[in-house]
């Protein structure tokens, strides 16, 4: 899960990282009000979860609160890389002497967090990384020892940070490491971290990604999720505790167990079809959950057939059948459905579905073949 700049900066600030004064606004009048409080000279910043907002025209300097209002109107009407701008951050404008890059992420090959820094921070950091990777300093962090002071000092030296800033840089890096560790982040990034003309270190931008699998222990962070940017089907799936990933194919799949779901997708491909989604309803799913899953599958306009492949263990096939019937009653699907029920209460499940005009299959191969056939318009 990615956080917006204003959210990331609020968290940074709680950990003692200096950020500019500012607040988020949802309309131009609010932006004007905030700009007035900040003395007029502000930067108006689109809050969308993509990089390169500056280059796309989504970051603009205003010299007065009047101009802040105008720019907020403009920016709030923009789409940046396909994402509508719903909020702007209005920050006091600062005069920049130097832009630095500072970030921490996971380095998979060394299985450790890595701190990255560069003297050439700012909007062209991707280019710096591609063309002159030696200008990006990397330091591995031992997860048990944490970021050591000498490491941060080495970084300060390597990026030619003037000596008067060393002390504050070291404490800022330590704070960023604490943010990373304590929020279960997979990325924390400040680009640019600036030296201002009046000789302060300030985090001008902020980016954070939190590990979705750790959100259960960060309910305060989970609430910050921006639902605007997520596909409605995925929001719905999360609500019911379903693991759902939309894909590009035409056969909707409802399966229990991630392994069986993957095997089902593979076998669909083997017989010339392609799956419209990955969907694991999980163990012990009741009728409610099954109905939600089917609704989600059928909401995808690409779906030409549905393949339901349930291996009843903890999950009872009669419950699955009841869920299917409930969903069918509601959605009235126009696509053919192939069902394979095996295991606990399979007989009962099949009996319940007997009148529902479904294509049944005994084996996984048969189920896959039939669904590919009907998806491609065959009888
Ligand atoms: P990004 O393009 O999405 O990474 O957005 P940033 O927040 O990093 O802003 C892009 C660039 O705008 C920064 O690298 C700065 O050069 C510039 N910028 C942002 N805030 C200010 C500010 O308060 N004053 C000045 N002069 N420039 C700013
Ligand atoms: Mn940036």
User: What is the pLDDT at residue 279?
Assistant: 95
**90-146 pLDDT per residue, tens:** 999 999 999 999 999 999 999 999 999 999 999 999 999 999 999 999 999 999 999
Average pLDDT (203-219) is: 95
Q: Is 146 left (phi over 0), alpha (psi -120 to 50) or beta?
A: left
Residues with CB under 5 A from ligand 2 (ion): 191, 205
> Does residue 52 surpass a pLDDT of 80?
yes
With cut-offs at 50, 70 and 90, classify the pLDDT of residue 283.
confident
Residue from 85, 79, 108, 81 nearest 25 by CA: 85
Q: How many CA atoms are closer than 13 Å to the CA of 339, on its beta-carbon side? A: 26
Share of the chain above pLDDT 70, in %: 99
Whether the model pTM is above 0.75 = no
Span from the CA of 136 to the centroid of ligand 2 (angstroms): 16
Span from the CA of 191 to the centroid of ligand 2 (angstroms): 4
With cut-offs at 50, 70 and 90, classify the pLDDT of residue 232.
confident
> Does residue 230 surpass a pLDDT of 70?
no
With a 6 A CB cut-off, is 103 part of the ligand 1 pocket? no
Average pLDDT (30-56) is: 95
Domain 96-222: which CATH number of 1.10.3720.10, 3.40.50.920, 3.30.470.20, 3.40.50.11540: 3.30.470.20
Taken in order 265, 271, 276, 282, the sign of the CA dihedral is negative
| Spatial distance between the Cα atoms of 294 and 302, rounded to a whole number of angstroms | 14
Average pLDDT (18-30) is: 97
Residue ranges, CATH 3.40.50.261, the chain? 231-375
> Does residue 82 surpass a pLDDT of 80?
no
Ligand nearest to the CA of 55: 1
| Spatial distance between the Cα atoms of 113 and 138, rounded to a whole number of angstroms | 10
Span from the CA of 129 to the centroid of ligand 1 (angstroms): 19
Residue 102 near residue 196, CB atoms below 8 Å? no
Q: What three-state secondary structure class fits 291?
A: helix
CATH superfamily of 21-92: ATP-grasp fold, A domain (3.30.1490.20)
Q: What is the 8-class DSSP label of residue 55?
A: T
CATH number of 231-375: 3.40.50.261
With a 6 A CB cut-off, is 54 part of the ligand 1 pocket? yes
User: What is the pLDDT at residue 366?
Assistant: 96
Residue ranges, CATH 3.30.1490.20, the chain? 21-92
Structure tokens at 58: 């989504």
> Does residue 216 surpass a pLDDT of 90?
yes
Please confirm, yes or no, whether 180 is among the known catalytic residues. no
User: What is the pLDDT at residue 333?
Assistant: 86
Atom of ligand 1 nearest to the CA of 99: 14
User: What is the pLDDT at residue 313?
Assistant: 87
> Does residue 284 surpass a pLDDT of 80?
no
Average pLDDT (5-30) is: 98
Average pLDDT (360-371) is: 94
């Amino acid at each position: 899960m990615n956080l917006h700049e204003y959210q990331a900066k609020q968290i940074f600030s709680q950990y003692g990282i200096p950020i500019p004064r500012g607040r988020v606004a949802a309309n131009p009048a609010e932006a004007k009000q905030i700009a007035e409080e900040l003395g007029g000279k502000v930067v108006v910043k689109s809050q969308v979860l993509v990089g390169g907002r500056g280059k796309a025209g989504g970051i603009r300097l205003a010299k007065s609160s009047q101009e802040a209002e105008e720019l907020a109107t403009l920016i709030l009407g923009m789409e940046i890389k396909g994402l509508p701008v719903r909020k702007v951050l209005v920050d006091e404008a600062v005069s920049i002497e130097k832009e630095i890059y500072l970030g921490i992420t996971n380095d998979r090959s060394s299985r450790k967090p890595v701190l990255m820094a560069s003297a050439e921070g700012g909007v062209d950091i991707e280019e710096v990384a591609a063309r002159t990777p030696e200008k990006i300093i990397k330091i591995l962090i031992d997860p048990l020892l944490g970021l050591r002071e000498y490491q941060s000092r080495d970084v300060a030296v390597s990026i030619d940070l003037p000596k008067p800033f060393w002390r504050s840089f070291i404490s800022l890096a330590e704070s960023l490491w604490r943010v990373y560790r304590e929020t279960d982040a997979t990325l924390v990034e400040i680009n640019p971290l600036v030296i201002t003309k009046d000789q302060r270190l300030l985090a001008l931008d902020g980016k954070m990604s939190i590990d979705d699998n750790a959100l259960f222990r960060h309910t305060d962070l989970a609430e910050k999720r921006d639902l605007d940017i997520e596909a409605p089907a995925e929001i719905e799936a999360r609500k019911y505790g379903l693991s759902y990933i939309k894909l590009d194919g035409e056969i909707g799949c409802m399966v229990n167990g991630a392994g069986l779901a993957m095997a089902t997708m593979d076998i669909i491909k083997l017989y010339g079809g392609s799956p419209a989604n990955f969907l694991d309803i999980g163990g012990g799913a009741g009728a409610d959950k099954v109905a939600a899953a089917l609704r989600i599958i059928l909401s995808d306009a690409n779906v030409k057939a549905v393949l339901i492949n349930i291996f009843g263990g903890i999950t009872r096939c009669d419950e699955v059948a009841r869920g299917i019937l409930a969903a069918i009653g509601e959605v009235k699907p126009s696509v053919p459905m192939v069902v394979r029920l095996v295991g606990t209460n399979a007989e009962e499940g099949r009996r319940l579905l007997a009148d529902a005009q479904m294509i049944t299959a005994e084996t996984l191969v048969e189920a896959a073949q039939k669904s590919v056939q009907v998806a491609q318009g065959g009888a």
